[in-house]
Structure 1
């Protein structure tokens, strides 16, 4: 296990899982430029390190992230990393899977960070909201267009136009949240999900994520035509041979990531 820490973000690697914890509890984990920079660096590490398979993003002390630190905003700071966007994430999510483990509030930019993740585990008391219109702002860190993709149009528009939050149960009903768990256990549940992902062939996981996301706007005909760019290297890999051998020999596969 390796752990690195700043006053605002904790980063821990263990068993192929990178856990990134926003650590500003007195400010409800509101995002700052310093925190966003550490998150961006952690996500680069995730994609570059072959020993890492998946990451979990969470917040400390029962809150995910209350969005942008408005006091810092008044002073002219923007928690935006060039090339990565708000929170060091929303404009360039990692190629490897990223799971949001949400306790308490995920508001504004915090919810937009959730929307940039691939999977979401939430405590039963979690709340998701885009209150920007209440502050004279707009959800321009992806919320305006990602919320209607992740939720039914009417639900997303109600969130965007009223600024009112929805519950974890409501979010799960509409497919935004994968699992709702007991409060205080979201990180553990996210790690269980991460372990299930990390047990699989890394090339296959990465290609599956990339194709699933890129093909959202393609027709079926376009998807079948273009998918070979993503899937041919997977089928030609040493891991594909190993997967078949492990199945035949009834043993756990030994992935090499090539």
Structure 2
């Protein structure tokens, strides 16, 4: 069973975290699968993406403590894979830790009425830093209270402070998100992409949001064939033959 599924219908990419037995918690397979999905979406003809989760208990319970994921930032929407096309989250239950961060980083979100958003890092003494870039995406004072207390936030409150666009009855989250995505997908794609690109360009960029894309570029260089070739040519006292890979 694949932890991440990707379906494309009428210009809409439906990306699903498929670990309902683990409340869609994020392990290394989910990180790798979501990163691949974002790359596929960015390079595809799909015009809008909807990120949802299997089952009816949780959008994501956050990091899987039994298989702690590495480089979680690489699975986040709009962070490791640049993309001017809109990404919508369909939240169908608990969104905890990294799951809540995905919602924050998405361009839009629909939440079912029973959903709760929890960011527990202040209570457990761990913080990756990505969520600190929330101010352009929800009210500052309300968002800071939520993060610093670690208290659960209801879907209605998430709507009130701008974390989600709309709240819908239980079981209708994906339907509502796909309806929204369909409306956008039928519009002029170049205009939609320009709207996102220009709007995103007006938002302040947090230090973490600046750091991670640069880290991705440097990590790629560090693991490249050119590095190996450069070292080998130095040892062999010959001119290197770089391939850009």
Indicate the residue corresponding to 2:48 in structure 1: 54
Partner of 2:112: 123
Higher RCO (C-alpha under 8 Å, 6+ residues apart): 2
Report matched runs for 1:141-180 at 5 Å: 142-146=130-134, 148-180=135-167
Distance 1:95 1:186 in 2: 24
Root-mean-square deviation (CA, aligned residues, Å) is 1.7
- Alignment partners' CA distance in 1, 2:109 and 2:182: 15
Q: Are 1:97 and 2:89 an aligned pair? A: no
CA distance in 2, matches of 1:40, 1:139: 18
- 8 Å CA contact 2:112–2:171 kept in 1: the answer is yes
C-alpha separation between the residues in 1 aligned to 2:162 and 2:52?
Answer: 20
| Whole-angstrom CA distance in 1 between matches of 2:74 and 2:121 | 14
Choose the corresponding residue for 1:39, options 15, 19, 34.
Answer: 34
| SS of alignment partner, residue 100 of structure 2 | helix
Preserved CA contact (<8 Å) 2:35 2:74? no
Shift of 1:97: 0.5
Task: With the length of structure 2 as denominator, give the TM-score of the two structures.
Answer: 0.78
Q: CA offsets per residue over residues 88-114 of structure 1, 9 Å max, x none? A: 536235321000000111110000011
Residues in 2 aligned to 1:31 and 1:161: alpha-carbon distance in whole angstroms: 23
Unmatched segments (≥5 aa) in structure 1: 1-5, 219-258
Mapped to 2, the partners of 1:213 and 1:160 lie a distance apart of 23
Is this contact kept in 2: 1:31–1:87, CA < 8 A?
A: no
Take 1:89 and 1:209, find their aligned partners in 2: how far apart are those partners?
Answer: 14
Q: How many residues align?
A: 203
Q: TM-score, normalised by structure 1?
A: 0.74
State the SS of the aligned residue for 2:6: strand
Q: Is the 8 A contact 2:86 2:107 kept in 1?
A: yes
Unaligned runs of at least 5 residues, structure 2: 206-245
Shift in Å at residue 79 of structure 1?
Answer: 4.9
1:191 to 175, 178, 197: 178
Q: Does residue 70 of structure 2 align to residue 78 of structure 1? A: yes
Question: Is residue 124 of structure 2 the alignment partner of residue 135 of structure 1?
Answer: yes
Shift of 1:216: 2.2
Indicate the residue corresponding to 1:252 in structure 2: none
SS of equivalent to 1:72: coil
